[in-house]
Structure 1
Amino acid sequence: QKPVDVIIQLSPGASKYAGWALGAGMVKIAAAQSSVRVALNLDHATTLEQVKQALDNNFTAVLFDGSSLPIEENMRLTRQVVGMCHAQGVPVEAELGKIPKIEDYFSADEIAHLRNLTAPEAVRIIRDKAGKQVEALMAKPEDVERFVSETGCDFLAAAFGSIHGIWADIWPIRVDRLVAIQERTRLPLVSHGSSGILMTPEDARKKGIALAPGEGTLLDAIQTGGVTKVNVATILSISFIEGFVDAYNAKPSEKDFRKLGGPAREKVKEKTKEYMRLFAGKIS
């Protein structure tokens, strides 16, 4: 329960859903009432207009994601974003390589099936269908120095084998690629798609997931010293949904959704604390 500084992220999708001013406003009001420092980060902006909206609404950091573009175009647009943001004292995170989504490889029905399998079986199927492409999409160490130099970004989200949207911490990442990237830059590195990454070597052992040479866990990535920001979203969303459903199933006569939201928030809180303990190196 000790106070810990936090980064709250709003994506363009969330900002469109709630409205840019309302979404940012809720975070800023909560931050003003808190005893900890709160950063408001725009997550995965893909257009200059989205960046402008974030700056107009006093976001304190921006991630520009040009990873779907050719590297030259990615660098050109990222450089523009850096110019816009640095003029207002706002740091920029940029993305190199591409971190795919699990939906790029599996349909909704297939994902539902995978979620019902044991962790080793699900990992085997994901490896067979997606593994080679995920590896091909990882950031190339030889691109790192030029990308950082030409864009002037402050943080680098370099792809090292994670996948967005995996529903549980079962997927190994390529620590060998992460280390090779670290050797090319002193910038703080960022882990994306972290909900799906195995948390610790002990978790891998307990779940029966064998790590191939060069693979590792989220703890390994943090302990290399390069990863200083870890994005966690999917598992928190799933925790909320599960908490809400459990509360409804326990009391199906309830008509006040706020009373169902309480247990859902508690489940998110406990999962968040679990990750915070991991980030602080306090693992059992």
Structure 2
Amino acid sequence: MLVSGSEILLKAHKERYGVGAFNFVNFEMLNSIFVAADIAKSPIIVQASEGAIKYMGIDMAVGMLKILSNRYPHIPVALNLDHGTSFESCKKAVDAGFTSVMIDASHHPFEENLALTKEVVEYAHSKGVSVEAELGRLMGIEDNISVSEKDAVLINPDEAEEFVKATKVDYLAPAIGTSHGAFKFKGEPKLDFERLQKVKRRTNIPLVLHGASAIPEYVREAFL
């Protein structure tokens, strides 16, 4: 059952559990995600990055998702654009049938990030599509996003509150020390759970932890 990201994450937010978001680049990966969700009896978010869309074609990405969603009608699933870098990229995904888009303008100064996110939110919401944004900068490499250790910046809770109120974004990816992509932590991960709790209290919306797949024990702590 294809639904908006908000429909899945607001329920998780209220009932205090997490939902996995999984990237795919072909049918085999997407089919495996659905099979696992069926076994686990879990809702899922499936994601395609700009690079994956370039590889597959956006019509193919949406088409495969719709076919598998019809095959597993009991599984709530949202299709999310992962790390969209522009309004045009997000608009293209919305128009193609994605039910959620991420606008990642975290490499811009705060005010530019806010303005671009607000523009995406206004368009996506007019089409019934949910929006994720990012504040702070997560270290690592994923698709065409690359952030070195010296450039990584943790989220400011005060800015997070202002950002969410101004943009009306549906969920937020806060930088608290996680690292996304192929290159993970050097040594022991150091995640700022106190900062995460402050952001949660200030924003009261679902939060998204990128780069969480390699640190399941820390993910569990995030829900305590």
Q: Which residue of 2 is the match for residue 13 of structure 1?
A: 51
Shifted more, 160-169 versus 34-43: the winner is 160-169
Q: 1:160 to 1:92 in 2, by over 3 A?
A: same
Higher strand fraction: Structure 1 or Structure 2? 2
Aligned-pair Cα RMSD in Å? 1.9
Whole-Å Cα distance in 1 between the matches of residues 66 and 191 of structure 2? 34
Q: 1:176 to 1:96 in 2, by over 3 A?
A: same
Whole-Å Cα distance in 2 between the matches of residues 71 and 8 of structure 1? 28
Runs (5+) with no aligned partner, structure 1: 106-129, 201-216, 224-284
Would the aligned equivalents of 1:166 and 1:195 in 2 still touch at CA under 8 Å? no
Q: How does 1:188-267 map to 2 (within 5 A)?
A: 188-196=206-214, 198-200=215-217, 217-223=218-224
Higher-RCO chain (CA-CA 8 Å, sequence separation at least 6): 2
Q: TM-score, normalised by structure 1?
A: 0.59
Whole-Å Cα distance in 2 between the matches of residues 39 and 86 of structure 1? 15
Give the residue type in structure 1 aligned to 2:210.
H
Q: 1:98 to 1:167 in 2, by over 3 A?
A: closer
Q: 2:159 aligns with which of 127, 143, 158?
A: 143
Q: 1:221 to 1:153 in 2, by over 3 A?
A: same
Whole-Å Cα distance in 1 between the matches of residues 151 and 120 of structure 2? 29
Whole-Å Cα distance in 2 between the matches of residues 173 and 2 of structure 1? 28
Would the aligned equivalents of 2:137 and 2:147 in 1 still touch at CA under 8 Å? no
Runs (5+) with no aligned partner, structure 2: 1-38
SS at match of 1:101: strand
Q: 1:187 aligns with which of 196, 200, 205?
A: 205
Runs of 4+ in 1 over 4 A off after TM superposition: 102-105, 166-170
| Residues paired across the two proteins, number | 179
Deviation (angstroms), 1:187: 0.9
Q: 2:130 aligns with which of 91, 103, 106?
A: 91
Whole-Å Cα distance in 1 between the matches of residues 175 and 44 of structure 2? 23
Would the aligned equivalents of 2:133 and 2:171 in 1 still touch at CA under 8 Å? yes
Percent sequence identity over aligned pairs: 40
Whether 2:98 is the aligned partner of 1:59: answer yes
Whether 2:26 is the aligned partner of 1:25: answer no
Higher helix fraction: Structure 1 or Structure 2? 1
Q: Greater Rg, structure 1 or structure 2? A: 1
Whether 2:80 is the aligned partner of 1:41: answer yes
